[in-house]
Structure 1
Amino acid sequence: MLRIWLVSLIVQTRSCFAADFPWPAAEFRGVWVATVSNIDWPSSSHLSTHQQKLELGAIVDKFKSLNFNAIVFQVRTSGDALYNSSLEPWSTFLTGTQGHAPSPFYDPLEYLIGKAHAAGLEVHAWFNPYRARAGSTSRSGLAPNHMANRFPSHAHAYGTNLWMDPGSSEVQDHIVNVYIDVAKRYDVDGLHMDDYFYPYPVSGQDFPDTSTYHVYQNSGGKLAKADWRRSNVDTMINRLNREIHAVKPYLKFGISPFGIWKPGHPSGINGLSAYDSLYADAKLWMDRQWLDYIAPQLYWRIDPPAQSYPALLDWWCQQSTHGRHVYTGNAASNAVTKPDWSVQELLNQIQISRNKRNELSLGNIQYSAKYFMHNDKGISTNILSLYKSPVMTPPMPWLNVPVPDMPQVTGTGSSLSWAGDSTGHTYRVVVYRLYADIWEITSFLDAHTTSTTLAEGEYAVKAVNRAGMESNATIVHIKNGAFNIIG
């Protein structure tokens, strides 16, 4: 009897302090799924609807199994749409002909959101803003409602691509409308912009925006051309931030700029200047709090001093003076395809990012999905050594979304249930299990799910809002068919 009493006392004492055991550190574990040129999905523009769905489902299943928690899905490669849009034509990368809808009809973005959310993964819709056509400077073959045909005087051949003029107010308005349309109609978790602002420079060519600049000057504008170009991009970023959050305050707005703001920042860094060549002043955007996260593309190795991964990451973290998150963009592609790289290099980079958690380095986004789908050079197998169990994406308290109430759990034996949240503040319910004095996530449940069945053990049930803010936990102990709430 004494032994039984002591065991019971130990369990009760442990349970009293269960909520004090460490919770898993939140970390953004994202992957870019590129659709331009069929890089990641669909594998061909001639697949059937059924085949496309199978491939999307396989992507979700793979990254859930690797304990990722976010898919950054390219929905607009070059004035096109991989979703059902009244503003822009269906992408040629989806159906082989721009403007042709999938047949039988389905909406890839809607389909992905359903699959990913059921698996506990966020979906961030990724847009390329100004590129009008990749690999061709011609408007021939573009659908009538393509932006290059709607605004032909602002569509310019530059290098091997067709590009829209960021200085055109018509182009700016159209791009903002495209973003807001997706924000309104789709249950995405975030909206994402990549590194293409003004195009990467082509030797011997200046971007042909002289006429737009003259219009600006004739209206009384005094900025030098380079400053005017930066101002055009700044205006776009500021508008997107304000208008996206006006539609849905919880939406996460992120940008993945080129990894070097300016050479010499930090000291010793050389390379292309995003500030001077792409007219992208990401430092200003962070200073003004015009984004929720930044994902600088640090596609260099750790050691070379001219583009040092840790030195650049330090610099980007130092720019986050208002608490905005830094999710490093990593080149998984380099780890697989470049002889002077290795998968271990990538793992080391992720660990370096983790070591700077106190400096708001809170995750990574991998480019791109196909290398993990194929497990090239064992990259998927190896990343599980770091991504050992699921975690939440980092919370964003500044989004000012109400924190949900703690779930009021009841149960019989191993079956738990709780009331649905009538306030609408709950996005999902997360169930943790206590393993060796550490909590680990066992399941993500959507807000409509109000019950679950669990094996014996000690569990915590929390409600989470769209900004990643968690409620207090209800602690539950299940043993020998008995159910007890202990905290």
Structure 2
Amino acid sequence: MPVPKFTKCMSRRYLALGIIVALTVSGAIVMTIILVTETGTPTITPSPSREFRGVWVATVSNIDWPSSRHLSTEQQKAELVTILDRMVELNLNALVFQVRPAGDAFYDSQLEPWSYYLSGRHGSAPSPYYDPLAFAIEESHRRGIELHAWFNPYRAKSKSASYSLASNHMANRFPQYTYDYGNYLWMDPGAEDVADHTYDVIIDVVRRYDVDGVQFDDYFYPYPISGTDFPDTATYRAYQTSGGTMSKPDWRRDNVNRLVRRLYSGIHAEKAHVKFGISPFGIWRSGYPAGIVGFSQYDSLYADPKLWLEQGWVDYLAPQLYWMIDPPQQSYPALLDWWLDQNPLQRHIYTGNYLSRIFTDGWPVSELVNQVKISRDRADRLSLGNIMFSMKPFRDNISGVVDSFKSDVYSQPAMPPVMTWLDTQAPDPPTGVKAGEREITWNMDQTGVVQTWALYRQNQDNIWELVHVLGYNTTSVKVDAATYLLRAVDRMGNESSDVIVTVS
């Protein structure tokens, strides 16, 4: 975690850097640096409370948003605003928004058709027209929330869906690589045309939209159907004919690996600040770690997230640890510890948690609260947050989950952790900061660098507590009488030097 710069608005010089103290404030980790001045009076300058607090908003089958494919434009917007306001209430800081459920688009695309789940008409734009992704980004950033665009790379259609595919859908563009397998139409990951199209779709979004991240979930090759192999024999034979010598399982894994590696490079070449993350199935292979028994994504989905971490092809990994804490065969803490041990390049680990099991399987809310605490207890090993699947329990406060999280693990705001391998350049500090009557004001950012403003309050113990994370477009905030510290924060989470004001 980077050390904050010295406070510019203080006139006294510092003789020495005193003590670095790790504190826990309402469960959120706060690093505090005590600076000793010439007079010997300690001045406490904080490093931020850092934790990735994400939630998946699933659009496929209208799981989370929109609640129906028959809503009007204004109803869709209102639902999304309600979701974001709930995220602010819960001190969540990252929306993982499903923009491509099945070769379709929740945004204005020249490459793929509008999603059926948006308007009930595959290939038809919302009417009156608006761009849901652009709207979601604008409203998220207004609230100081990151938006990570969530893509499914190969799924083409759920067979339970009744719509017909638009002419420009990838299954119609590449019918020779479209397979009817299980409950889905699926694209062949071994086909270069499919890989190129998926890559182009994602880079197009990175180029045209102000997303903070790109994410895949656990769907690579499809979950297998017992007794039925995925029908990519012709593609594999073409690979062998061209001189390829890998076995089919290794070839399949290589197809996925090449797309992951290519996207990591391509995304950062387009926009260096856009984060690339993947949320794989929570077990790499049965028996890893010892005692774990379960489905092997390495052998069945041909996904090798252990390799992606080792090679640094992701900025974060969010393994889906969708089991309870205690069962030994799929132990939440044992699996988390194993993933943390596979991270030689020190990328971030954000655990994926199955929040919806409080209503699908009767899990107590305390199970999810305790899982967050377990993840947080390993922050020194780069366990730096959680992503909840999905938004519906938070949206509807099922089983009082909102109240439980607000009163316990998410009682105070936090900012996403800094990815130091991407950028460490701090922005300029806020300008024009003034203390009014129960209000602090400052100038609008003119650089285009600021993503949020971080406001800290000095408590009775002379410790700075993060009390607000405000959107880039904010220039004032109502406060109680106290001493405050304001910092500008860029889109990578780097903080400026301090501006301190007292509201009396």
Same fold (TM over 0.5): yes
For 1:42 and 1:418, locate their aligned partners in 2 and report how far apart those are by CA, in whole Å.
Answer: 37
Aligned twin of 1:168: 191
1:383-410 Cα offsets, whole Å, 9 max, x none, are 1121001111111111125321233454
Q: Secondary structure at the match of 1:320?
A: coil
Contact (CA 8 Å) 1:336, 1:343: kept in 2 or not? no
Q: Structure 1 stretch 469-478 or stretch 283-292: which is displaced more? A: 469-478
Aligned twin of 2:157: 133
Amino acid at match of 1:44: S
Q: How does 1:338-349 map to 2 (within 5 A)?
A: 338-339=361-362, 341-349=363-371
Amino acid at match of 2:151: F
Aligned twin of 1:364: 386
Amino acid at match of 1:360: L
Q: How does 1:201-350 map to 2 (within 5 A)?
A: 201-339=224-362, 341-350=363-372
Q: Does residue 439 in structure 1 map to residue 461 in structure 2? A: no
Q: Does residue 399 in structure 1 map to residue 422 in structure 2? A: yes
TM-score by length of 2: 0.88
Amino acid at match of 1:134: S
Q: Does residue 92 in structure 1 map to residue 116 in structure 2? A: yes
Q: Secondary structure at the match of 2:323?
A: coil
For 1:30 and 1:75, locate their aligned partners in 2 and report how far apart those are by CA, in whole Å.
Answer: 16
Contact (CA 8 Å) 1:401, 1:466: kept in 2 or not? no
Q: Secondary structure at the match of 1:19?
A: strand
Aligned-pair identity (%):
55
Aligned twin of 2:203: 180
Aligned twin of 1:64: 88
Contact (CA 8 Å) 2:412, 2:466: kept in 1 or not? yes
Q: Secondary structure at the match of 2:421?
A: helix
Q: Secondary structure at the match of 1:391?
A: coil
Question: 1:444 offset after TM fit, Å?
Answer: 3.2
Contact (CA 8 Å) 2:159, 2:184: kept in 1 or not? yes
Q: How does 1:474-485 map to 2 (within 5 A)?
A: 474-479=499-504
Q: Does residue 110 in structure 1 map to residue 125 in structure 2? A: no
Question: 1:114 offset after TM fit, Å?
Answer: 1.3
Q: Which structure has more helix as a fraction of its residues?
A: 1
Q: Secondary structure at the match of 1:211?
A: helix
TM-score by length of 1: 0.91
Aligned twin of 2:5: none
For 2:473 and 2:365, locate their aligned partners in 1 and report how far apart those are by CA, in whole Å.
Answer: 40
Amino acid at match of 1:80: D
Amino acid at match of 2:232: D
1:96-144 Cα offsets, whole Å, 9 max, x none, are 1100110000111111111111111111110011000013599x71000
How many residues of Structure 1 are paired with residues of Structure 2 in the alignment? Answer: 465
For 2:234 and 2:44, locate their aligned partners in 1 and report how far apart those are by CA, in whole Å.
Answer: 64
For 1:57 and 1:464, locate their aligned partners in 2 and report how far apart those are by CA, in whole Å.
Answer: 24
Q: Which runs of 5+ in 2 are unaligned?
A: 1-36
* Alignment CA distance shift 1:16-1:471 (3 Å): farther
CA RMSD of aligned residues (A): 2.1
* Alignment CA distance shift 1:41-1:451 (3 Å): closer
Q: Of the candidates 387, 391, 413, which is equivalent to residue 390 of structure 1?
A: 413
Contact (CA 8 Å) 2:413, 2:469: kept in 1 or not? no
Q: How does 1:422-437 map to 2 (within 5 A)?
A: 423-437=447-461
Q: Does residue 190 in structure 1 map to residue 213 in structure 2? A: yes
Aligned twin of 2:483: 458
Question: 1:268 offset after TM fit, Å?
Answer: 0.6
* Alignment CA distance shift 1:115-1:16 (3 Å): farther
* Alignment CA distance shift 1:401-1:244 (3 Å): farther
Amino acid at match of 1:476: V
Q: Which runs of 5+ in 1 are unaligned?
A: 1-12, 480-487
Contact (CA 8 Å) 1:18, 1:475: kept in 2 or not? no
For 2:120 and 2:481, locate their aligned partners in 1 and report how far apart those are by CA, in whole Å.
Answer: 53
Contact (CA 8 Å) 1:256, 1:297: kept in 2 or not? yes
* Alignment CA distance shift 1:219-1:24 (3 Å): same
For 1:115 and 1:187, locate their aligned partners in 2 and report how far apart those are by CA, in whole Å.
Answer: 12
For 2:137 and 2:41, locate their aligned partners in 1 and report how far apart those are by CA, in whole Å.
Answer: 39
Q: Secondary structure at the match of 1:79?
A: coil
Contact (CA 8 Å) 1:131, 1:161: kept in 2 or not? yes
